[in-house]
Structure 1
Amino acid sequence: MKQVAGKLVKLLLAVGPGIFAIGYTVGTGSVTAMAKAGSQFGMKLLWVLALSCIFSWVLMEAAGRFALVSGETAVNGCRKHLPGGKGLALLMVIGVVTGQWCCLSGLVGLSSSALYEGLRLFIPSLTENTYWPVLGIAATLMVLMYALLWHGGYSFFEKILVIFVTILGLSFIVSMFVVLPPAGEIAGGLVPRIPNVPGAALMVAAFVGTTMAAPTFVVRPLLLKAKGWGRDDVKQQSVDAFAGAFLMFIVSGAVMACAAGALFSRGLEVNHVLDMVHTLEPVAGKYAVSLFLVGTLSAGLSSVFPICMVAPLLISDYRKGEFDSRSKLFRILCAVACLIGLTIPILGANPIAAQIATQVSQVFILPLVIAVLFVLANKRDLMGSHRAGPLLNTGMIVAFAFSLVMSFLAVKGLIGFFKPLENASTEPKWMVCVTDQRYTQVDGDEHVYEDAQAGALVTMDVSSVPPKSFQTLENVPASLIGPPVSVAVAPNQKFALVTGAMKVNPENSAEQIPDTVLSVVRLMPGAPEIIQQIELGLQPSGVEISRDGTRALVANRAAGSVSLLSLTPAGQAELLDTFAVAPPESSVSHAAFSPDGTRVLVTLNKAGKVLFCSLENDQMKVLQQVTCGDGPYCAEFAPDGKSAVIGNVYGGTLSLLKISDQTADVVDTIPVGILAEGIDISPDGLWLVVNCLENTNMTSDNPAHRESAMVVLFQKQGATFVTMDSIRVDGIPQAAVFTPDGQYVAVASNEKQAIRFYKLETAQLKETNIEVSTSGGPAAVRVSM
């Protein structure tokens, strides 16, 4: 290992200015992009990385050739030799500095968090409240950066970057070999193709933007001049440009391969590089994860270091075309950059203004830089016989075209930037809870209230937490008897469907009998209101609305049937058909749609079976009868429709199904807890939460009674789910569901008559002390994703 490291250091020292290219491109942002791509697509986007590195090589070659032949720098050369050059040069300086400074604080925050998470791997007793430790680490790092910047010149800066890049390169490459994906998969990734999934095309463009960093090409002539290279070093410059681009490809590819080998093959996906801590550790062990975090930290520092000096370097370039690291202006602007680097650690979040400024700078700066380099590299009076040839010009033209595509996507993103913020204030995300005001099971004392009421519907906007816009609609027929999916919210958020499984027996007010009513409740505009009631089969229980909002399924528990309804956007419902699927004694409890609406899972609670059905042309057909655990109750498809989870309420287990077009097969059975009443899968499909009553609804003198119940959190790993956390909760947790953003879990307590929110953080459910009271004991809680 020492020999390998020594050779790598010698190679990097021989490269020179190309090392700055790695500093400007392989930061924590690009590490995050590579980790996300590797976990989501495996090695399928390796060709995009290769292409973007080729473009970077072309542009570094063009910038370097111009500098060595003309003796000019990019910014100063633009100012002196191009029409309108002063304005163009200023635009380049402002655009690059704005974009880099906006990125700087995020890099510092993520690097500091990576270091702290690495420490927590080996010192679990460290506080989970990361704010002050991360801020302290960030401040220490920026003081160190400033000290290095204060005392150094070009040669010193180059050596510092060599150290950082050596560490990050070795860390990621060694991590990759721990979980190396198959050679065939790596080779297949070099074949151009875009995965047929949402967001893949955008990620392709983002890859090009991540690697084709504008400061790499703008600063390169200045760095070559500082190193003392001239016309005699043109070939060495070409080697340097190639080596820099090649190292970018190797290091970034190693990150992608690490995520692909450890996560993609197991069906795991990450959206943030620090998520790798919790998903990679069970696969590769804490030492491999710590090595990955060391690489992440080094990637951050290798970017922070050159970014801190980008403003004074470009200003010096504009003024006199020289690399000046000893001036007072250099030190003042580096100090300003170091202070800006502390913004996110201080605020604890990325400011919206910084996000907007970063996007704006990306819109115009890269195409401008490429266009300027193209003109300068072809200027006869500067380049003479060394002007760019057909091959180099073709490369720059193609790179320019790609930069325009990225700019278009950036503009499109900016146009839509405020739309989510606007929608957040005008379009709520409803969480709907139905409460039973007739019947109770608290302390095992099952009885009908003397002053029994029909029930109520409680609505709250959970587009943010704590929730807002609370409203309660009384006299909505609802029942605690049945699965906690007796309410469903339409995807357009305009209405909800509520089943009334039971009602008070008119001949004996102390008992309940099955009802037949389904209520349609308008959620907006205006206050909630029942706008329609429909008679269905006996004891309507679980209700589900299709993803497109046009169909609904209702399980009629005492009739052995499933009702199919059509829905309008305003919430008008019409009964299309009722399908007899099982004997009434089978207790049909829930019918769940697949994401595309063409397949249905129907749970037969008392029969221990699940029916896998087709639903085409509004006709339901049973394709397969699946044997599950004891008491299948609730069913839910994964967001991709390739798997599903069944909660077996009596057996205390989960059945995991693999779904194909014609079959549903049990691939795993997971023990969970006593009376696994409800299940919910997060919007991204990575998490599963289960609420277990744990016999809290029994009398206290019953030997099986427990004082507290349980909510269990699972993480998707391959074809199954793995337990990550469990919390004890009070008072008959009737339901547990994710908020639409997947950041919180709401647990509804029938006994406490309240909904409590827990934060999903670092693979744990953490207390928030946010609680909402309900009118009566919750029977079911749902949201629409």
Structure 2
Amino acid sequence: MPKSLSLRSGLSSVLIWSVISAAFIGPGTVTTCAMAGSRFGLDLLWALTFSTIGTIVLQEAAARITIASGLSLGQVLTTMYGQRARWLTTVLFIAVALGCAAYQAGNLLGALAGLTLLTDWPPQLLTLLLGATCLVLLWRGSTQLIAQFLGLVVFLMGIAFAYVAISASPGAGAFAQSLVIPALPAGSLVLVIGLIGTTIVPYNLFLGSGISQPGLSPVDAIREMRLGISLAVLIGGGISMAILVSGTLVTGEFSFQNVAQTLSNRLGSWAGAFFAFGLFAAGFTSCLTAPLAAAVTARSLLGWSENSWAYKSVWLVVMGIGLTFGLLNVKPVPVIVLAQAANGLLLPLVTVFLLIAVNNRALLPAEYQNRFWQNAILVLIVGVTAFLGLRNLWLALGS
């Protein structure tokens, strides 16, 4: 008989799965959401509603496949396609690792930007302190410890951005309408794809499917996973919406300094400090999750043990690349926005793979396969992301 969920186990599950929301709320989210609010007001809020629901559906499917089959996503590929999947798993790992390395550079630069808004310490010293802290936490090797730590930081970050958003006083009617009614103002397509891509992150599927709570039966594990993912992602989506609403206060050329200064001028110095803390928290949490996601992907796709040097070398390399960019003090904003948009273009391919896998009768028992409504939502996600991606490509070719 399945056990009932206690308040304690429910909160623990949310903290564990908060690693997902911590992973997608990075400087890219802060940049893209704040820029969307600054340029288009509340018009693009619907994209965050769509991507939050999409993230819950995709993460639940990926985790359910792993829990029910006992296989990692890499092993699922091998099971479905045999030896032909070997080249695919290698290519996927390289793509994910390169993407994590690129994100890590932006994560560290974003965290550094937040700290430089709060302190006058030398950027190089702050970079080294951030890098050393991340290395110590990652070397401990406990994904549950890191996940629970990140859950607390994400909660504090959410309070900061929510407070600023409430102070912006958006109209309740306009806010509710923007949540559910799609709009595509002229010049907004790249940001729409970016908002979706910064929330539904492909490498998070490998990261999420690699997180488990030992000692639970598949039925209990899936029930706790669904609760944890749903609440953690809803919190993350709410923070993203709060950032977008905060961005509506910003005018002029977009930069972190301009955002902080605008908020300080409009609401008081506390608002600029809250934004700076939120930017630092977003960068710091993602500084941990990007290397971890690359290493977990290697474990899933290539079968490397968590205690092996090959596994540890993956996150060490990703951390090293991020530290290098941080010490060089590269400006991250344009690269971050383009990376989010490119990420959104990859989503249809990832969703199609999950749609096929989660309906595979040879892989999953009938009770763990998708229901009709779950397949309908997955097909909708494929359709919307494919439409936006192809339309963006068509406009680019036309110009």
Task: String of CA shifts for 1:678-715, please: whole Å, max 9, x gaps.
Answer: xxxxxxxxxxxxxxxxxxxxxxxxxxxxxxxxxxxxxx
Distance 1:321 1:228 in 2: 24
Q: What runs of 5+ residues in structure 1 fail to find an aligned partner?
A: 1-7, 121-125, 127-132, 420-785
Structure ID, larger Rg: 1
| C-alpha distance in 1 between matches for 2:9 and 2:244 | 26
The residue type paired with residue 58 of structure 1 is V
Q: CA–CA distance in 1 between the matches of 2:140 and 2:129? A: 17
Matches within 5 A, 1:247-396: 247-260=235-248, 262-263=249-250, 268-269=251-252, 271-320=254-303, 324=306, 326-349=307-330, 358=339, 362=343, 365-385=346-366, 386-396=368-378
- The equivalent position to 2:162 in structure 1, one of 173, 192, 209, is 173
**In the alignment, what sits opposite 2:109?**
109
Q: Which stretches of structure 1, 4 residues or more, deviate above 4 A after TM superposition? A: 8-12, 225-229, 354-361, 409-416
Give the Cα separation in 1 of the matches to 2:215 and 2:187.
Answer: 42
Please name the residue that 2:3 is paired with: none
Deviation of 1:365 (Å): 4.2
Indicate the SS of the match to 1:250.
Answer: helix
The one-letter code of the counterpart of 1:286 is S
2:223 paired residue number: 235
Q: Is the 8 A contact 1:93 1:315 kept in 2?
A: yes
Q: By how many angstroms is 1:359 displaced?
A: 8.0
Question: In the alignment, residue 280 of structure 2 is paired with which amino acid?
Answer: L
Partner of 1:194: 183
Distance in 1 (CA, whole Å) between partners of 2:214 and 2:395 is 38
Distance 1:89 1:414 in 2: 30
Residue 14 of structure 2 corresponds to 15
Contact 1:96 1:361 in 2 (8 A): no
Residue-by-residue CA offset, 1:649-675 (whole Å, 9 max, x unaligned)? xxxxxxxxxxxxxxxxxxxxxxxxxxx
Q: Which residue of 2 aligns with 1:211?
A: 199
Instruction: Name the counterpart of 1:400.
Output: 382
For 1:10 and 1:387, how far apart are their aligned partners in 2? Answer: 26
**TM-score, normalising length: structure 1:** 0.46
- Residues 574-613 of structure 1: CA distance to partner in whole angstroms, max 9, x if unpaired? xxxxxxxxxxxxxxxxxxxxxxxxxxxxxxxxxxxxxxxx
Residues in 1 aligned to 2:138 and 2:33: alpha-carbon distance in whole angstroms: 29
- Aligned CA distance change for structure 1 residues 32 and 108 (closer, same or farther; 3 Å): same
Post-superposition offset of 1:297: 0.7
Contact 1:367 1:400 in 2 (8 A): yes
Structure 1 vs Structure 2: percent identity of aligned residues?
Answer: 22
| Structure 1 residue 244 displacement after superposition | 2.6
Instruction: Give me the whole-angstrom Cα distance separating, in 2, the residues matched to 1:415 and 1:225.
Output: 47
Native 8 Å contact 2:193 2:389 kept in 1: no
| Distance in 2 between residues matched to 1:363 and 1:168, nearest whole Å | 24
Q: Which residue of 1 aligns with 2:144?
A: 155
SS at match of 1:224: coil
Structure 1 residue 219, shift from structure 2 partner: 2.2
In the superposition, the TM-score normalised over structure 2's length comes to 0.87
Q: Please state how far the C-alpha of 1:59 moved relative to its aligned partner.
A: 0.6
Report the CA distance shift for 1:327/1:294 in structure 2 as closer, same or farther (over 3 A).
same
Check conservation: 2:193, 2:345, Cα contact below 8 A: no
Q: 1:365 to 1:202 in 2, by over 3 A?
A: closer
Change (3 A) 1:185 1:358: closer
Aligned match of 1:80: 79
* CA apart distance, 1:379: 0.8
> How far apart, CA to CA, are the structure 2 residues paired with 1:220 and 1:234?
13
CA distance in 2, matches of 1:347, 1:115: 16
Distance 1:65 1:188, change over 3 A: same
The gaps in structure 2 that reach 5 residues or longer are: 1-6
Q: Letter of the aligned partner of 2:134 in structure 1?
A: M
- Which amino acid in 2 is paired with 1:204? V
Distance in 2, Cα, partners of 1:87 & 1:360: 26
Higher relative contact order structure (alpha carbons within 8 Å, sequence separation ≥ 6): 2
Partners of 1:31 and 1:255 within 8 A in 2? yes
1:370 Cα deviation from its structure 2 partner: 1.6
Residue 332 (structure 1) shift: 2.5
Aligned to 2:124: 135
Query: 1 CA distance for matches of 2:378 and 2:29?
Result: 23
Deviations 1:150-174 (CA, angstroms, capped at 9, x unpaired) = 1231221122212321221121122
CA offset at residue 283 of structure 1? 0.9
Relative to structure 1, the CA distance from residue 225 to residue 327 in structure 2 (aligned partners, 3 Å threshold; closer, same or farther) is farther
- The one-letter code of the counterpart of 1:399 is I
Whole-Å separation in 1 of the counterparts to 2:281 and 2:147:
15
Q: Distance in 2 between matches of 1:297 and 1:39?
A: 20
- Contact in 1 for aligned 2:37/2:245 (Cα 8 Å): yes
Q: Which amino acid aligns with 1:85?
A: A
Counterpart residue number, 1:45: 44
- The structure with more helix, counted as a fraction of residues: 2
Kept in 1: contact 2:34–2:247 (CA 8 A): yes
Q: Give the distance between the partners of 1:360 and 1:48, measured in 2 at CA.
A: 13
Contact 1:172/1:255, CA 8 A, preserved across alignment:
yes
Match of residue 661 from structure 1: none
Residues 67, 415 of structure 1: CA spacing in aligned structure 2 closer, same or farther, 3 A cutoff? same
Shift of 1:401: 2.3
Structure 1 SS opposite 2:205: helix
1-side partners of 2:153 and 2:338: how far apart?
28
Q: Secondary structure at the match of 2:365?
A: helix
Deviations 1:92-140 (A, max 9, x none): 22222221211111221121021111225xxxxx7xxxxxx22221121
| Matched AA of 1:116 | T
Alignment of 1:479-498 (within 5 A): none
Q: Counterpart of 1:113 in structure 2: which amino acid? A: A
Q: Which secondary structure state, in structure 1, belongs to the residue aligned with residue 181 of structure 2?
A: coil
Does structure 2 conserve the Cα–Cα contact (< 8 Å) formed by 1:36 and 1:270?
no
* Aligned twin of 2:118: 118
- Measured at CA, do residues 308 and 327 of structure 1 come closer, stay the same or move farther in structure 2, by a change above 3 Å? same
Shift, 1:226, TM fit: 6.5
Question: How much has 1:350 moved relative to structure 2?
Answer: 5.4
In structure 2, relative to structure 1, the CA distance for the partners of 1:170 and 1:355 (3 Å cut) is closer
Q: Secondary structure at the match of 1:72?
A: coil
Does the residue aligned with 2:364 lie in a helix, a strand or coil?
helix
Q: Does the 8 Å contact 1:205/1:405 carry over to 2?
A: no
Cα distance per residue 1:472-522 (max 9 Å; x no partner): xxxxxxxxxxxxxxxxxxxxxxxxxxxxxxxxxxxxxxxxxxxxxxxxxxx
Other-structure match for 1:55? 54
Letter in 1 for 2:259: M
Q: Is the 8 A contact 2:43 2:178 kept in 1?
A: yes
Q: Distance in 2 between matches of 1:9 and 1:158?
A: 16
Which letter does structure 2 place at the counterpart of 1:305?
A: L
Which segment is superposed worse, 88-97 or 166-175? 88-97
Is residue 19–residue 244 contact of structure 1 (8 Å, CA) maintained in 2? yes
The number of residue pairs the alignment matches comes to 390
Are 2:26 and 2:286, in contact at CA under 8 Å, matched by a contact in 1?
Answer: yes
Q: Which has the higher strand share?
A: 1
| Alpha-carbon distance in 2 for matches of 1:307, 1:30 | 14
Whole-angstrom CA distance in 2 between matches of 1:28 and 1:331: 25
Query: Matches of residues 478-557 of structure 1 in structure 2 within 5 Å?
Result: none
Sort the Cα spacing of 1:280 and 1:119 in 2 relative to 1 into closer, same or farther, 3 A.
same
